[in-house]
Amino acid sequence: MAAVMDMTNEDTVLVAMESTACEPHHAVLPELSGVSSITSQSESAEVPEQQQLRVYLKVRPFSEEELKSNEDQGCVVLEDSETVALHAPKGSATMKSSEKGIGQQVYKFSFTQIFGPKCTQTEFFEGTISSQVHDFLQGKNALVFSYGVTNAGKTYTIQGSPKDPGILPRALDVVFKHIAGRQYEHMDLKPYLSSDVQKLDSEQVKVEKNAKAALFSLLKEEPEPTRSSRSRSSTSSVSSLSFSNVSYDHTVDSADGTADEGHCFYSVWVAFYEIYNEHVYDLLQPAHTSKTKRRPALRVCEDSTGNSYIRDLRWVNVQNADEASKVLRVGNKNRSAAATKMNQSSSRSHSIFTIKLIRIEGADVQGLSDLSLCDLAGSERCNKTKTFGERLKEAGNINNSLLILGKCIAALRNNQSYRVKMSYVPFRESKLTRLFQGMFCGRGRACMIVNINQCASTYDETLHVMKFSAVAKQVLQVIPQRSIESLAPRLVGLDGKPLLKNGVIDDQAVDEYLSEEELLDGDEADMSILPQEELVNLVESLRVKLLAERRKNLLQEIQIRKEMGDAMLQQIMEAEELHSRQLVDLKESYEEKMDSTFEMYKEALKDHAYQCALERLEEDYIPIDEFNEEQERVKELEKLVFELEQKCRCSAPQPIMQDNSMQTSPLPATESESERFKMLYKEKCAVEKLCVEKQELIVSLERRISELNETLQEAGESYMEKLEEVQNLQNRLSNQEQKTECLQSDVAAKEEEINRLREEIAKLASESVGQSRPRCGLLVNIKESSTGSLCRTIKKSVRASTLRKKPS
Ligand SMILES: Nc1ncnc2c1ncn2[C@@H]1O[C@H](COP(=O)(O)OP(=O)(O)OP(=O)(O)O)[C@@H](O)[C@H]1O
């Protein structure tokens, strides 16, 4: 599905670079046709012209390395001179997002003009900024900025190579060829503030000359470096640049010259600076030698007209293209020096080369125009695919300018739709937009060069650039139809005070200017000195600004939220992708490991089997001679066996096949022999049968014997058990007999005792009868006790005898 990125609804514009909204191309046509009618009317009525911002696309050819690494995936397709289609390559974030239903796989963009990879620098210059250079010569201001990801060819487009100069050397060449013979050779008129000219005295002119000589001497100290095939730093790209190769058709220029231009003289001044990390650095200022001291950052101020300028920026008067080239080389050199010192890379700063052309007629300064060529930092730095924190950090410093530029462009485009309530254009939020605010507000004409490469690896960043440019293309610029006279700058003295008005000193103007100078002292002017009416106006404008600010904040918040959401979604998707890729990698690595281990084991097994086979071979090895001998012997033996068999067959009756069975029967040699053989055979069969029967009998007998043996063994075992039992009983019996004998002897002893005791009793009884005394005292007790124990003893003895009698 393709989407044409011509923004038509305000939301799309507000989310500028990140919008994936797809609106039909024709939807913007009414607005554009409206523009063209305005243009034609304006031209006739001499009212300010409105013009779409010109956005050119330049597609860089593939480098050899890129071709080797198969970068070409047909990502960039030039459909015609104004339309290009971007096809998401496999593996790009855009492709992945589209697979998940977010965004499209193919985007279409339209440009003012597209220049393909085969386009030459001359064709490009002619097709793009040539007309702006002519306007510049006519007193109009112009801004050209190149935008794109790093390595897209921005620097090459602007500065070019020694053999093939870019648009800057070509523009300078056009300028110098145009003013040839009308060069203002004195250096006493110098650009001042944003659009004024300062009159220098002889001392100052001397200072200027010395400064210029010192600047150029920097180049003499070092040999001219040669440009490498791929230089990331813009320094190397044109350090050795010379404009000698510029060839340009000047017939147009000469035709441009108006009749009264013949009396005019021109003074050309150039400046070269960069914006890095929201600081402006003069690239023509020699870098500090001290390690601790950095190159001083310059201040951006506004003059009384509200136009921005860079305070203390060095302007160098150049008399020809060669001198301009030297200035560019010095700047490039300093830029690289600054890069090393401050640890910045060239693609992270915006470099701006500005040419100021002062038109002088007699003693009067008739006009001043400027042409700026801005090589923007690589746009990928604020790409949404970056990590969130990093992106925020970059938005806060290095790429703030690009972010704000995008916002300004979106707001400008937005204001075209919101005609009632204008949204605030945040020009003042970055140095870059602050400096070029005027160019978007009628002070001149801007154009944008979008540089892209065709690499699949940078597709997502390139798409981002294209979306940005799609918004930029929708911006309508107000191009004032002012004559060069109306732009006449003020001529100011040494202290910056205006000296002349219509050739005479204007005291009131001088006073006014004094107050303005005070205003200019800082970034923010002191408003309290303004008249009451102006203050009221100021308050009113501030109120409008405040409202606009509120609105802007709200929109910004929405935009930031959306950007955050998009960034987070992108991050999540990337993390998911990364994890799944890691998982796949892990799986693959494990599989590989497993495969290699498996192979290792397989090899080890093979080795082992081979070794075993070898060992076995060694064991079984028989020398060939021995083997042959053995074979011979086997053959001989076989032969012998065969002969013996033959002999046997001949001597013995031949067997015949019976009933196709394996058993053979003798073949009758003669009748009697046959009979005999049959009989023998029968006998043999009978014997064999008998043998079988006997054998069976033997087997059954053996079986019987073994059974009997088993029974015998069992009986023996039970006999032994019984025997043991009997033995035990006998032992017990003998024990009992012994015990009985003991008891009997005891009983006998007791009986003897009883008898003795009876005798005693009887004796005692007889004695007691003789005495007849009462039975009392010790003797009675003894008698009783003796009687008791005696009774017990008798009882026991009786019981024992009873027991002894029982077993018997
Ligand atoms: N039209 C072209 N023809 C041939 N080579 C080109 C062209 N455009 C760019 N190149 C080459 O591509 C490389 C990158 O170009 P360049 O340095 O201009 O990129 P860049 O966008 O300025 O990068 P950065 O932002 O990092 O400074 C250089 O080697 C340059 O010579």
Give the DSSP per-residue string, 756-804: HHHHHHHHHHHHHHHH---S-SHHHHHHHHHHHHHHHHHHHHHHHHHHH
> What is the whole-number distance in angstroms between the Cα of residue 59 and the centre of ligand 1?
10
Residue 636 to residue 631: CA distance in whole angstroms: 9
**Of 471, 469, 465, 455, nearest to 385 (Cα)?**
465
Residue 609 has pLDDT above 90, yes or no: no
For the CA atoms of 652, 653, 657, 658, the dihedral, rounded to the nearest 10 degrees, stands at: -120
Of 5-9, 16-20, 250-254, 691-695, the range with the highest mean pLDDT is 691-695
Q: CB under 8 Å to 234, separation ≥6 — which residues?
A: 155, 159, 332, 335, 346, 351, 375
For 57-91, the pLDDT digits (tens) are: 999 999 888 888 877 668 899 999 999 999 988 88
* Ligand 1 pocket mutation, candidates 76, 156, 276, 382, criterion most atoms within 8 A of CB: 156
Residues 552 and 523 in one domain: no
Residues 460 and 565 in one domain: no
Residues 517 and 567: their CA atoms lie apart, in Å, by 46
Atom 27 (ligand 1): residue with closest C-alpha?
Answer: 347
pLDDT score, position 165: 92
Same domain flag for 245 and 100: yes
d(CA 422, CA 544): 9
Q: Kindly indicate the confidence band of residue 518, based on its pLDDT and cuts at 50, 70 and 90.
A: very low
Q: In angstroms, what is the span from residue 121 Cα to ligand 1's centroid?
A: 13
pLDDT of residue 48: 55
Lookup: tokens for 487: 């732009």
Tokens of 149: 């990801």
What is the pLDDT, as a whole number, of residue 336? Answer: 52
Task: Please indicate, yes or no, if residue 645 is contained in any of the structural domains.
Answer: no
H or E stretch covering 408 = helix 400-417
Whether the CB of 477 sits within 6 Å of ligand 1: no
Residue 266: band (very low, low, confident or very high) from pLDDT cuts 50, 70, 90: very high
In a domain, residue 638? The reply is no
DSSP 17: G
Distance 586 CA to ligand 1 centre (A): 38
Centroid of ligand 1 to alpha carbon of 61 (angstroms): 9
Average pLDDT score over residue span 226-233: 39
Indicate the pLDDT class of residue 287, thresholds 50, 70 and 90: low
pLDDT tens-digit map of 696-709 = 888 888 888 888 88
- Segment (H or E) for 729: helix 671-771
Give residue 151 CA to ligand 1 midpoint distance, Å.
5
Distance of alpha carbon 325 from alpha carbon 328, whole angstroms: 5
Q: Same structural domain for residues 511 and 447?
A: no
Binding-site annotation, residues: 148-155
346 lines ligand 1 (CB under 6 A): yes
Please indicate, yes or no, whether residues 514 and 459 belong to a single structural domain of this protein: no
pLDDT the model gives residue 343: 32
Contact status, residue 445 vs residue 479, Cβ threshold 8 Å? yes
Domains contained in the chain, number? 4
Q: Which helix (H) or strand (E) holds 753?
A: helix 671-771
Instruction: Note whether 321 and 173 are within 8 A (CB).
Output: yes
CATH number at residue 55: 3.40.850.10
Residues 446 and 559 in one domain: no
Alpha carbon separation from 608 to 491, 594, 596, 620, 754 (Å, rounded): 101, 21, 18, 18, 105
Residue 461 Cα to ligand 1 middle (Å): 16
More confident residue, 347 or 444: 444
652 is a domain residue = no
Range of the domain at 203: 2-496
Is 550 in a helix, a strand, or coil? helix
Q: Is the pLDDT of residue 270 over 80?
A: yes
Query: Residue 551: is its pLDDT beyond 90?
Result: no
pLDDT at 749: 93
Rounded to the nearest whole angstrom, what is the distance from the C-alpha of residue 127 to the centroid of ligand 1? Answer: 19
DSSP state of 26: G
Average the pLDDT over 318-340 and give the result: 79
pLDDT band (50, 70, 90) for residue 730:
very high
Ligand 1 pocket check for 62: Cβ under 6 Å: no
Q: Are residues 566 and 585 in the same domain?
A: yes
What is the predicted pLDDT for the residue at 239? 39
Tokens for 523, please give them.
């970034």
Rounded distance, CA 676 to CA 689, Å? 19
Q: pLDDT digits over 756-789, tens only?
A: 999 999 999 888 776 655 444 444 454 555 445 5
- Is the CB–ligand 1 distance for residue 236 below 6 Å? no
Ligand 1 pocket residue status of 163, Cβ below 6 Å: no
Q: Span 414-430, mean pLDDT? A: 73
pLDDT digits (tens, 9 = 90+) for 97-108: 888 887 788 899
Ligand 1 and 118: CB distance under 6 A: no
The domain boundary, picked from 527, 542, 576, lies at 527
The number of the ligand 1 atom at minimal distance from the alpha carbon of 121 is 1
285 pLDDT above the threshold of 80: yes
Nearest alpha carbon, ligand 1 atom 23: 151
Please give the share of the chain, as a percent, with pLDDT higher than 70: 68
pLDDT at 339 over 70: no
Whether residues 19 and 95 fall in one domain = yes
Cα(264)–Cα(367) distance, rounded to whole angstroms? 10
Q: How far, in Å, from the CA of 339 to the mean position of ligand 1?
A: 18
Tell whether ligand 1 has an atom less than 6 A from the beta carbon of residue 155. Answer: yes
Confidence (pLDDT) at 429: 84
| Cβ 310 vs Cβ 435: under 8 Å | yes
Are 455 and 589 contained in the same domain? Answer: no
Q: Is residue 501 part of a domain?
A: yes
Per-residue confidence (pLDDT) for residue 127, from 0 to 100? 94
Q: 744 pLDDT band (50/70/90 cuts)?
A: very high
Token representation of residue 222: 């070092």
Residue type present at position 639: K
- Please give the backbone phi and psi of residue 314, each rounded to the nearest 5 degrees, phi first: -85, 125
Residue 193 belongs to some domain of the structure: yes
Ligand 1 within 6 A of 154 CB? yes
The residue among 112, 92, 216 whose CA lies nearest residue 477 is: 112
How far is ligand 1, taken at its centre, from the CA of residue 159, in Å?
Answer: 10
Mutate which of 57, 60, 227 for ligand 1? The one with the most ligand atoms within 8 Å of its CB, which is: 60
Candidate of 155, 231, 275, 401 to mutate for ligand 1, largest count of ligand atoms within 8 Å of Cβ: 155
DSSP three-state, residue 478: strand
What type of residue sits at position 230? Answer: R
Give the integer Cα–Cα distance in Å for 630 and 763: 127
Q: Which amino acid is at 325?
A: S
The alpha carbon of 715 is separated from its chain's Cα centroid by a whole number of angstroms, namely 94
All residues at 6 or more sequence positions from 350 whose CB lies less than 8 Å from its CB, including other chains: 274, 275, 276, 374, 375, 376, 377, 401, 432
Question: Which of the listed ranges 56-60, 88-92, 413-417, 564-568 does the model predict with the highest average pLDDT?
Answer: 56-60
* Shortest-distance Cα residue to atom 4 of ligand 1: 61
Give me the phi and psi of 369, to 5 degrees please.
-135, 155
**pLDDT score of 385:** 40
Token pair listed for 654:
């031949």
**235 vs 117, which has greater pLDDT?**
117
- Tokens 């002619």 belong to residue: 126
Q: Quote the pTM value.
A: 0.56
Q: Whose CA is nearest to atom 11 of ligand 1?
A: 153
Cβ-based neighbour number of residue 696 at 10 Å? 10
Binding-site positions for ATP read 148-155
Q: Are 401 and 418 contained in the same domain?
A: yes
Residue 639 forms part of a structural domain: no
Atom of ligand 1 nearest to the CA of 148: 21
Q: Is 26 left (phi over 0), alpha (psi -120 to 50) or beta?
A: alpha
CA of 122 to the centre of ligand 1 (A): 16
Ligand 1 near 231 CB (within 6 A)? yes
Residue 379 CB less than 6 A away from ligand 1: no
Q: Give me ligand 1 centre to Cα 239, in Å.
A: 14
537 and 450 within one domain: no
Cα–Cα distance for residue pair 100/657, rounded to 1 Å: 89
**Distance, CA of 187 to chain centre:** 56
Q: Is residue 653 domain-resident?
A: no
Q: Specify the range with the lowest mean pLDDT, choosing from 209-218, 372-381, 569-578, 766-775.
A: 766-775
Determine if ligand 1 sits within 6 Å of the CB of residue 750.
no
Residue 170 lies in a domain: yes
CA of 229 to the centre of ligand 1 (A): 9
Confidence band of 731 (pLDDT split at 50, 70, 90): very high
Using a 6 Å cutoff on CB, does residue 227 contact ligand 1? no
Q: Would you say 247 and 122 are in contact if contact means Cβ atoms under 8 Å apart?
A: yes
Percent of the chain beyond pLDDT 90?
21
Q: How far is the CA of 33 from the centre of ligand 1 (A)?
A: 36
Ligand 1 pocket check for 462: Cβ under 6 Å: no
Q: What is the 3-state secondary structure (H, E, C) of 119-144?
A: CCHHHHHHHCCHHHHHHHHCCCEEEE
Q: Are residues 726 and 756 in the same domain?
A: yes
| Mean confidence (pLDDT) of the chain | 74
153 lines ligand 1 (CB under 6 A): yes
Q: Is 64 in the pocket of ligand 1 (CB under 6 A)?
A: no
Pick the last residue of a domain from 587, 621, 655: 621
